[in-house]
């Protein structure tokens, strides 16, 4: 099977919302009047971002999900995406599974594949996603203000729990492992929540490298500090009710600095608490207030007694 047959069979689907899809030199996009394009790109490299044994359907899902998560963090509505693939060989079963997972998530969000590139090489997947957001109203990292509440969506730490189980540093009962692994391999981007928070949240980021590390980006860009109540951070969905006993220090590490969560961290004025909970209810996503923004720079992580935790938590960095 040649390059063009491969594209036609697995990736060329009719587009409805974009004026021109796959097949020409460029795709054409038309954001609605008064809307800005939000553009984001994320690359997944075999062995670095995913294990070679992962189910290709889950990989197709995740490759798009991590991009939709960035659109969500800006409050953008997904519109279209491009897919650039390096493949070591044409493996039709793999391609069929990958395309199935990819288009299932794309369909859920009305996001159309409009172009890309296909080449031979070590397995690598790059997606660029385009969304639209009312001009001038995108949620940015730079808008947090002293006195704002600090919130996170969903739960944290499951993906890292699964990664540690894969690495063999933690042994998990099978049911907990499968639940955590699903969170790692098939994250749900908080697209509806991001849009529901437009006009309410003052800043937002999606959590890909660990809560505290990503929160640090908001603090730097906004020129503020924060305190976080560690005990309030919503952790480990996979272990809820399952009676998993983890060492307290390890649990904190997973929840506060685990990574690959794809939840949203955001700030909103304390006076708008009810608006935040109403937006979360509309979006069908749980949110938890975990702290507050202060004028004093720095990130203070407090225990249940309000005392600073003695440990440092580093965010993920590919080159450290
Ligand atoms: P060009 O050489 O002009 O860059 P290509 O020959 O690489 O175009 O691709 C042919 C068409 O197929 C283009 O419209 C391109 O956007 C699309 N395409 C290539 N690879 C993919 C892919 N993996 N997914 C979706 N569209 C693709
Ligand atoms: Mg090309």
pTM of the model: 0.95
pLDDT given for residue 249 in this prediction? 87
Helix (H, G, I), strand (E, B) or coil at 92: helix
Query: 145 and 292 in contact (C-beta within 8 Å)?
Result: no
Ligand 2 centroid from CA 73, angstroms: 30
Q: CA torsion sign, 49 to 51 to 56 to 58?
A: negative
Whether the CB of 85 sits within 6 Å of ligand 1: yes
Give one word for 290, left, alpha or beta, with left for phi > 0 and alpha for psi -120 to 50: alpha
Q: Is the CB of 7 under 6 A from ligand 1?
A: yes
Q: What is the pLDDT of residues 223-242, one digit of tens each?
A: 999 999 998 998 887 766 66
Cα–Cα distance between 221 and 203 in angstroms, integer?
10
pLDDT at 316: 65
Burial of 291 (0-12, 13-18, 19+ CB in 10 A): buried
Measured over the CA atoms of residue 239, residue 258, residue 255 and residue 148, the dihedral's sign is negative
| pLDDT tens, residue by residue, 20-59 | 999 999 999 999 999 999 999 999 999 999 988 999 999 9
- The finding on whether 23 has its CB within 6 A of some atom of ligand 1 is yes
pLDDT at 315: 67
DSSP result, 135-161: TT----TT---TT-EEEEES-BSHHHH
Burial status of residue 92 (CB atoms within 10 A of its CB: 0-12, 13-18, 19 or more)? exposed
Residues 6+ apart with CB under 8 A from 278: none
Residue ID of nearest Cα to ligand 1 atom 12: 23
Dump pLDDT digits (tens) for 140-175.
Answer: 999 999 999 999 999 999 999 999 999 999 999 999
pLDDT band at 317 (very low <50, low <70, confident <90, very high): low
Determine the pLDDT at residue 227.
96
The CB of 22 under 6 Å from ligand 1? The reply is yes
Interval 7-19: pLDDT, tens? 999 999 999 988 9
Q: Which of 87, 80, 122, 79 is nearest to 10 (CA)?
A: 87
Ligand 1 atom with minimal separation from the 85 CA: 23
Name, in order, each residue with C-beta under 8 angstroms of 210's C-beta and a sequence gap of 6 or more: 256, 257, 258, 259, 261, 313, 314, 315, 316
Q: For the segment 269-313, what is each residue's pLDDT rounded down to a tens digit?
A: 999 999 999 999 999 999 999 999 999 999 999 998 899 987 777
Give the C-alpha distances (Å, rounded to integers) separating 103 from 1, 96, 183, 207, 309. 21, 11, 19, 24, 44
User: Helix (H) and strand (E) counts for the chain?
Assistant: 9, 10
| Residue 127 CB contacts under 8 Å (≥ 6 apart), including other chains | 41, 42, 63, 64, 66, 67, 81, 82, 83, 84
pLDDT for 320 beyond 70: no
Q: Give the pLDDT of residue 319.
A: 67
Question: What gap in Å lies between CA 24 and CA 46, rounded to an integer?
Answer: 29
Ligand positioned closest to the Cα atom of 22:
1
DSSP state for residue 22 in the 8-state scheme? B
Say if residue 85's pLDDT is above 80.
Answer: yes
Q: Could you confirm whether domain 3-134 is CATH 3.30.450.40?
A: no
Residue 28 phi/psi, 5-degree rounding, is: -115, 130
Ligand 1 in contact with 87 (CB < 6 A)? Answer: no
Q: Is 118 in the pocket of ligand 1 (CB under 6 A)?
A: yes
**Strand partners for 80:** 112, 130
- CA pair distance 99, 106, nearest whole angstrom: 10
Domain extent listing, the chain: 3-134, 148-302
Same fold, 3-134 and 148-302: no
**Residue 83 Cβ contacting ligand 1 at under 6 Å:** yes
CA-closest residue to ligand 1 atom 22 = 116
The pLDDT, as a whole number, for residue 100 is 98
Residue ID of nearest Cα to ligand 1 atom 5: 117
Q: Is 24 touching ligand 1 by the criterion CB < 6 Å?
A: yes
For the chain, give the mean pLDDT: 94
pLDDT (0 to 100) of residue 302: 94
Pocket test for ligand 1, best of 23, 43, 118 (most atoms within 8 A of CB): 118
Q: Write down the pLDDT at residue 237.
A: 78
Q: Which of 1, 64, 99, 116 to mutate to test the pocket of ligand 1 (most atoms within 8 A of CB)?
A: 116
- Mean pLDDT score, 195-212: 97
* CATH 3.40.50.10490, applies to 148-302: no
Taking CA atoms only, the protein residue closest to ligand 1 atom 19 is 117
């Amino acid at each position: 099977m040649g390059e063009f047959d491969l594209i036609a069979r697995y990736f060329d689907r009719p587009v409805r919302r974009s004026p021109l899809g796959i097949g020409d030199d460029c795709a054409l996009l038309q954001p609605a009047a008064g809307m800005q394009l939000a553009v984001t790109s994320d690359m997944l490299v075999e062995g670095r971002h995913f294990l070679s044994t992962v189910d290709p359907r889950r990989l197709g899902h995740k490759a798009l999900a991590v991009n939709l998560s960035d659109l969500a963090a800006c409050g953008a509505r997904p519109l279209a995406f491009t897919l650039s693939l390096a493949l070591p060989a044409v493996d039709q079963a793999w391609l069929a599974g990958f395309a199935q997972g990819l288009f299932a998530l794309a369909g859920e969000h009305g996001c159309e594949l409009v172009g890309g590139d296909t080449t031979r090489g070590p397995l690598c997947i790059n997606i660029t996603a385009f969304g639209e957001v009312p001009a001038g109203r995108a949620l940015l990292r730079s808008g947090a203000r002293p006195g704002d509440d600090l919130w996170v969506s969903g739960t944290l730490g499951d993906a890292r729990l699964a990664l540690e189980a894969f690495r063999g540093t933690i042994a998990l009962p099978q049911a907990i492992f499968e639940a955590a692994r699903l969170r790692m391999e098939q994250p749900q981007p908080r697209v509806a929540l991001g849009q529901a928070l437009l006009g309410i949240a003052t800043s937002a980021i999606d959590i890909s490298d660990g809560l505290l590390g990503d929160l640090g980006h908001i603090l730097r860009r906004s020129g503020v500090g924060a305190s976080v109540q560690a005990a309030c951070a919503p952790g480990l969905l996979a272990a809820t009710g399952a009676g998993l006993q983890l060492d307290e220090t390890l649990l904190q590490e997973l929840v506060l600095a685990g990574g690959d969560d794809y939840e949203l961290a955001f700030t909103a004025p304390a006076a708008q608490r009810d608006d935040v909970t109403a937006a979360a209810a509309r979006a069908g996503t749980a949110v938890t207030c975990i702290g507050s923004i202060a004028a004093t720079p720095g990130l203070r992580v407090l225990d249940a007694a309000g005392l600073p935790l003695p440990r440092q938590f580093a965010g993920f960095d590919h080159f450290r």
